[in-house]
Amino acid sequence: MKAAVIGAGLAGVEAAWQLQMHGIDVTLYEMKPQKRSPAHTGDGFAELVCSNSLKAERLNSAAGLLKAEMETFSSLCIESAKHTRVPAGGALAVDRDAFSAYITEKIEACDRIRVVYREVTDIPADADAVVFAVGPLASDGIAETLRTLTGEGLSFYDAAAPIVTADSIDMEAAFTQSRYDRGGDEDYINCPMDKAQYEAFYEAICHAERAELHSFDARKEVYEGCMPIEVLASRGKDAMRYGPLKPVGLTDPKTGHRPWANLQLRKENRAGTLYNLVGFQTNLKFAEQKRVFSMFPALHNAQFVRYGVMHRNTFIDSPRLLDADFRLRRSPNLFFAGQITGVEGYMESASSGILAGLNAARRLQGLGSVVLPPETMMGALSRYISDESVRHFQPMGANFGILPPNSEKIRDKAERYAALSRRAMAALAAYKEEIGICKFS
């Protein structure tokens, strides 16, 4: 039995590492140095193209919990990070060249992994299982194959609105109603503004600072059919009120009248723990999004688990295509890993590679899939990207908002997050013991 992994980024190396640990011979395909994406410069594997920080390390943070879970699966990226770390306060930051070199050396020295340096544009014919880990800047050739595999369920640009946690919305300043009462009252949360509030918001968004686009992002396709809210605002004071902030068909029960302007929040997941700001695709800097969008009275204390983005990011419509084991539903020997699945972030991508590689190995060995408990961060991410109730799919990083809430109400945020982390690690340990998976030495 043989497997192929396409792409030697963070997800690809983790997938290959899991496959070989479970006794499967792997061919790892990497197009560098023959061909590069616009963002890559080095020749090594698992190249960190942006920040050298892997985010917080403390267990009572979402990023720290994710890394702790990954370590129980003998994550190669976590191992490399601990060998190549640099001082960064409470964050786990690395020497990016040393990080890549460590992983490259480990992969190339592994007897069960054969590295082939060439671009792949089709499914390798000699592989019994394939993991696609081609990254957010996939080459045109493999992207065309993916388009065929996914039935057009492929996005080339990430034009996403911000997402906030449900429990951070001030419902005293909001109300639930579908426009013209079409649908259930719980489908949308409405955040009204009066005229003075709207005019202050308009001035703020028109003068807010925008993020700089990379050369490979600054293309017309970024904005087709998905105009940034700040661009719409620049077209006139009432443009937003005839667009995403239109108040028609709504009645604020506190006033008995239609709001002057209204932002709708739509459920982002089945559990209703997350809501996205409808129509608020944006290229504002993250700090500006927090400042300006918090001007809605209902969002004055909003916790943003994801900010809006506008950039090149190839990803598939995972809720329609993948199971929670990262397997393509219509082709059970094909798996996906990394940002192409809609997980967002270095370690999120790496963690998806762990599960895709592990499940590809188990598939070839006739074993059942590993779908981690929803209380774990890895399990919650895998369930989010495969949740068919998510209708307007946006990539998602690790955050406590995607975990089921604790049965016990804990007011203090730090204590609440610590309790969620303890619960996650306990659930992971119990699950791994139940199915007979241990940490490899």
As beta bridge partners, residue 132 has: 6, 336
The pLDDT of residue 158? 60
pTM: 0.76
Whole-number Å distance between alpha carbons of 133 and 334 = 11
Q: Domain segments of the chain: what residues?
A: 2-158+311-435, 163-307
Q: Is 39 in contact with 49 (CB distance < 8 Å)?
A: yes
Q: Alpha carbon 257 to chain centroid distance?
A: 39
Tell the burial category of 329 from Cβ atoms under 10 Å away from its Cβ (0-12, 13-18, 19+).
exposed
In whole angstroms, how far apart are CA 324 and each of 185, 238, 350, 369, 421?
A: 30, 43, 16, 9, 21
Angle at 337 between CA 370 and CA 267, to 5 degrees: 80
For 426, the 3-state DSSP assignment is helix
Domain 2-158+311-435 has CATH 3.40.50.300: no
Q: Which of 275, 282, 244, 279 is nearest to 262 (CA)?
A: 244
**Secondary-structure class of domain 163-307 per CATH:** mainly beta
- 10-residue mean pLDDT series, the chain (441 residues): 95 98 97 68 80 88 97 98 86 89 97 95 93 82 84 67 94 90 73 98 96 54 62 94 94 95 88 89 94 98 89 83 96 95 94 98 96 98 94 87 91 93 97 80 34
CA–CA separation, 150 and 352 (whole Å): 19
> In angstroms, rounded to a whole number, what is the distance separating the alpha carbons of residues 104 and 126?
24
| 279-319 per-position pLDDT tens digit | 898 989 999 999 999 999 999 999 999 898 776 677 889 99
> Angle, nearest 10°, between helix axes 76-83 and 346-364?
140
Neighbouring-strand partners of residue 28: 5, 115
